[in-house]
Chains A and B, each alone.
Chain A
Amino acid sequence: MADSICRTLRDGALEGELAPTLTIKDSLASPFAFHVFSHILLQLSSHVIAQKSQSQGIVIVALSRSPSFYAALLNMNGVDVAASNKWIHILDCYTDPLGWKDKTRKSVNATDCSPQISLPTTSFKTVKDVDKLFSVITELGRGLVGENKARFCVAIDSLSVLLRHASLQSVAGLLSDLRGHDQVSNIFGLLHSDLHEERAVAALEYMSSMVASVDPYHHSADGQKGFLGDSFSQQNLTKGKFNVRSKRRNGRVRVTCEELKVEPGGISFASVSSVDGTAIAGLLPKVQFNLQLSEKERIDRSNVVLPFEHQGNGRPIQIYDGRRSLEESNSEANPISSGKKEDSAMGEIIYFRDSDDEMPDSDEDPDDDLDI
């Protein structure tokens, strides 16, 4: 599914349509959204380099990670950072989002001693001003791809930070403006869903054509990580569920679920069906009685002949429907009784009458002779 997200983002926007927007959301129980974000960023950059995608450049709005982090990330994954200035630009809202350092730097006149940043970066010091942010993003994008019809993609590494600095309306407005901008190919952003009110999350989800949500692999009962690490919460540290909800243009919604695994080199996705049965069996609550069948029990159960199931195997079906009289059926009863004798191992009732005094069952009241 992650591939299909990347494909959709790669293919970009149709003429006269809004750009596809992806929101990646997570919660503290499974905080892997940034892993997904960087995965998608790397995929997209390889597409951009290979010129297979609609977008010809990427503008990263860096709010939660430093520009040097992205340089290192791209570098580690084999992207030639030195040649990247043609297609990537970082809008640095991380280093000084509120302009605090500006004052210090002016007064102290300190030299810039940040480590070597090899990615082209523009710093932005008024994050609260979202309108300006929009104009700067589009300017940077235009700088990358030129004035023509070429498109660029926008990656916002934390919508959560943006929401803390600015109101929901203005952030939603920014997204909406970006989606409608005719040079934007696609937008993807990251949201920590438990930091915001539900309405904020919902509002942003409405604006996204795709929502990828990273959920904990196992939900623990009290909603918190178990303290002394049972195996479930241990699994939550390396795995997650990757739910994707994508909306088509015609309004059709498709929901898919995958398993996300965090590995030292990156993240991998696996379909849920490949999850072994023991993991699912482990989800059942621990009860004293056994809810599961063993293999032997399952075979035994399949061998049980259900009532009437023995009939119909070549012999006439004998069902007493209560309409025929007893004498009539007596003559026909023989095959049944003989049939019964064949497999007497199945059990039969043997009854000896005690004496001749004892009459066969009749309609007479047995207490008739009592004098009460």
Chain B
Amino acid sequence: MEHKNWNLLDEALGLHNNDNDNAKPWPLCGRFVLVEDCVDTSAAFVLHHILKRSFSSHPSSAVLFLAFSHPFSHYDRVLRKLGCNLTAQRDNGRLFFLPMLMFQCPGEGKPNHDGLASMFEQIERVITVLHQDKKSISIIIDDISFLEVAANGSSDDVLNLLHYCLTLTSEYGCAFIALDHKDIYLNDGERTAVILEMEYLADILVKAEPLATGLAKDVHGQLMVLDKETHQHGISAIKSYNFHFKIKENGTECFYPGTKIQ
């Protein structure tokens, strides 16, 4: 492994347990990681981080990336700064990048099940091909809210698609990582059922929020990671991790509140 410097985010996600042990499956395998952010604090860096880690998790790991919010060139630039060459990975057949920016379910204004069903068909086809090579696969959706736009605002269809993606996690042992914005679901202070249902489904919930005290130069926000530890098939309590982060040009610094030394 080329990297040893696990940070708090790796620890919270359980990624550090996998160090130099290719026999074990990737800790995120078979799990659903839901990343929630808000307007003030973007959590896209968590996706970048997981994307980078998933390539280095296993020599034959692969990623299926469904891009709704940014084109490939964007991720290529960002990940290059983090020390990961997406173009090379794509050419190696380890990254399947499905640009969904222009995806729109047919039938404007009314929910259409076939649109998302065909999208799932596309996903599953890639997964079955990848699975034959015995790779540990991660499915990453970079923005569920755009998926909802593409589904003509039908949150039921979105949840159905999410459910189907989740069935892939138990069938093929894929990791499923999705980003969503939580404040777009706020309705008179009440949260709507869509985001709540996703939180129920999630095995690991990563929440990014700004500092309660407002903007700061050295701290860009705080992360809360709730790990339901459902992967052991057993019953266990929820673990929670809280820490602050600072996003840098070539990585993210995570630290416990008050422990950062300049």
Contact = CB atoms under 8 A, between A and B. Distances in A.
Query: Do A and B truly interact?
Result: yes
Interface of A: 28, 31, 35, 38-39, 66, 68-69, 72-73, 76, 94-98, 100-101, 103-104, 107-108, 110, 113-115, 160-161, 164, 192, 194-196, 225, 227-229, 233-234, 237-238, 262-267
17 contacts: A28-B200, A31-B200, A31-B238, A76-B233, A94-B167, A100-B120, A104-B120, A113-B128, A113-B171, A164-B197, A192-B197, A195-B196, A227-B209, A229-B240, A234-B240, A262-B235, A266-B235
B262 interface: no
A208 to B, nearest CB: 20
Contacts of A73: 233-234
Contacts of B167: 66, 94-96, 101
A100 B212 contact: no
B233 to A, nearest CB: 4
Contacts of B156: 164
B172 interface: yes
A185 B113 CA distance: 37
Contacts of B159: 164
Nearest to A194: B196
Contact of B128 (A96, A98, A108): A108
Chain A's interface: helix, strand, loop or mixed, by majority? mixed
Nearest to B193: A195
Interface string B227-242: 0100001111111101
A195 B237 contact: no
Nearest to A195: B193
B7 to A, nearest CB: 18
Nearest to A95: B167
B17 interface: no
B163 interface: yes
Nearest to A112: B171
B250 interface: no
B45 interface: no
A110 B128 contact: yes
A192 B257 contact: no
A66 B171 CA distance: 9
Chain B's interface: helix, strand, loop or mixed, by majority? helix
A69 B196 contact: no
Given A66-B167, A98-B160, A113-B171, A76 B121 contact: no
Given A237-B239, A238-B238, A101 B164 contact: yes
Contact of B242 (A108, A164, A229): A229
Interface string B184-223: 0000000001001101100000000100100000000010
Contacts of B242: 227-229
B125 A108 contact: yes
Contact of A237 (B124, B131, B233, B238): B238
B193 A196 contact: yes
Q: Of residues B124, B125, B164, B170, which shows the largest number of chain A Cβ atoms within 10 Å of its Cβ?
A: B170
Q: Of residues B170, B228, B233, B257, which shows the largest number of chain A Cβ atoms within 10 Å of its Cβ?
A: B233
**Shortest Cβ-Cβ A-B pairs, 3 listed:** A72-B233, A237-B238, A66-B170
Given A108-B125, A164-B156, A164-B159, A237 B234 contact: no
A229 B242 CA distance: 7
B167 to A, nearest CB: 5
Nearest to A72: B233
B224 interface: yes
Contacts of A95: 167, 171
Contacts of B170: 66, 68-69
Given A100-B164, A228-B222, A28 B235 contact: no
A267 B237 CA distance: 9
B240 A38 contact: no
A69 B233 contact: yes
B111 to A, nearest CB: 13
Interface in B101-135: 113, 117, 120-121, 124-125, 128, 131
A95 B212 CA distance: 42
A246 B228 CA distance: 30
Contacts of A100: 117, 120-121, 164
A2 B199 CA distance: 27
